Structure formats: C-alpha cells, structure tokens
Amino acid sequence: MNRPVATEDHNSLQALLTTIDLPSLLDHAWLDPLQGGSAMGEQLEAARFWGCRGFCIPSGWVRKVRPHLPTNGPTRLVAVVGFPTGAVPSAVKLAEAEWVAEAGADELDVVPDFAALADGNTEQVHGELAAIVQLGLPVKVITEAARLPGPLLEQLVEMAVDAGAQWLKTGAGHGPGVAPELVRQLVKLARGRAAVKAAGGIHGLEQALRLLEAGARRLGLSRAPALLEAARRHQTGNLR
C-alpha cells in the first residue's frame, strides 16, 4: 500500500516524473507459465506500443517472439535463464543461455545457483556467471536480495561484478516486494560497478518513482503498460 505523500516529498516525485523517460526505464515482464501464444502476443504489442525498454520472457519463447520485435526498435528482447530457482547444472544453464543468445535475445536475466552459493561453492557460481557473460550479451544477475543473508549477498555481488555482469537485479519476483531500502543496499554494494534493476511487487506509480529515486536504473514488472497509462493520466499530482 502506498503511504501518504508529504508536500515536499510529493514535489520531488513530481519533478522526477517530469525529468525521466519512464518507458525507457521499464522491462515489461511476461513470465506466466499458464499463458499461451495469444496472451504473449498481446503483451508483446503492449510493450512495443508503450516503448518499454525491454520485454522479459521465458527462454522457450525467444525464437517465437524475435521475428515480431524489430531489432532496431526501442524494445529489447530479454530472456530469463535458470528461472526461477537457478538450481540446474551449470552446463544446462550455459546451454540455455547459448540457445537464447542464438535465438535472438538481446539481454539475459540470470538466476545463479543459490544452493551452491550457500554451500560455499563460489568457484562454481563465479564460473557459471563468467561463462554466460562471455556470450557477449548484457547480463543481469538476479540476487534475491530481500531473502539472501547479508554476507552471501555481498559475496554474490562481488562475484557478479568480477564475472563482468553489467546489472544486479533485486529478485525474480518471489518473496516480499522490492523496497527502496533494498535498492539503496544493492547500489551501495555495487559501488558504481554495476547498475541496479528493481523487480518484484511493483504495482503503483508512486512506488516505481521511489525505487528510481533510490537508485534503480531499470524496473521490471508485469504491469508496465498500466503503470505508463497511470503516468500519462497523471495531471493533478495524485500519485496512484
């Protein structure tokens, strides 16, 4: 639930909204496993209509969607790899990443092996991420920052950055929704070496602006078109 906005706070959010190109900061995610081609087509058209920065989909859809998304347009095709748990053999995850790269993905949102991280198998986690980065596409490493213990989160950030990942993503959409404090934490850990994508439980315009204000450089959500419609309707300063 959005909290009441004090006047000064409200004005800062208003100012932010007028100075950013919001569509270019949004990845419209469509990861519902129960939906077929018709729904996927509708969501793709919505992402294109609004000029979203990315359209984030399961790896199995990449080859089907690629012909319908111009490579020279504003919307990039983002594929999730190892989604949702990351608990697959490294060779399988790398093969998935190679497949989506060959199929035409522009960016990869990768779930690392959290179990291996928890067991101290840092070489495995780092090697897996480095091999995927070497494919040459921008990689966002999903950190599950809201649930991962602090020391492990710090380790994962360092491994992701050392492996060459350009982005750190707050989560895959499970657990608690992303909060500005979580974004600030990742920004602090990244120390300018990687950008932060906030994802998970983003529902309203005020919430989205607060995450951007906290330092997120991209937002991932399944409601990007609705959010952009709210921004377009926004006239009186009533952030909803």
Sign of CA dihedral 144, 149, 152, 154: positive
Output the six-digit token pair for 206: 């005020």
Q: Tell me how many helices (H) and strands (E) the chain has.
A: 10, 8
Kindly report the CA angle at 185 between 184 and 186, in degrees rounded to 5?
Answer: 95
Catalytic residue check, 140? no
Catalytic residue check, 109? yes
Distant-in-sequence, close-in-space partners of 8: CB < 8 Å, separation ≥ 6: none
- Whole-angstrom Cα distance, residue 58 to residue 35? 11
b/e per residue 69-93 (b: at least 16 CB within 10 A)? beeeeebbbbbbbbbeebebebeeb
Output the six-digit token pair for 240: 């909803």
Q: Considering 27, 106, 109, 113, which one is annotated as catalytic? A: 109
- Whole-angstrom Cα distance, residue 227 to residue 50? 10
- Whole-angstrom Cα distance, residue 198 to residue 176? 12
Residue numbers annotated as active site: 109, 169, 197
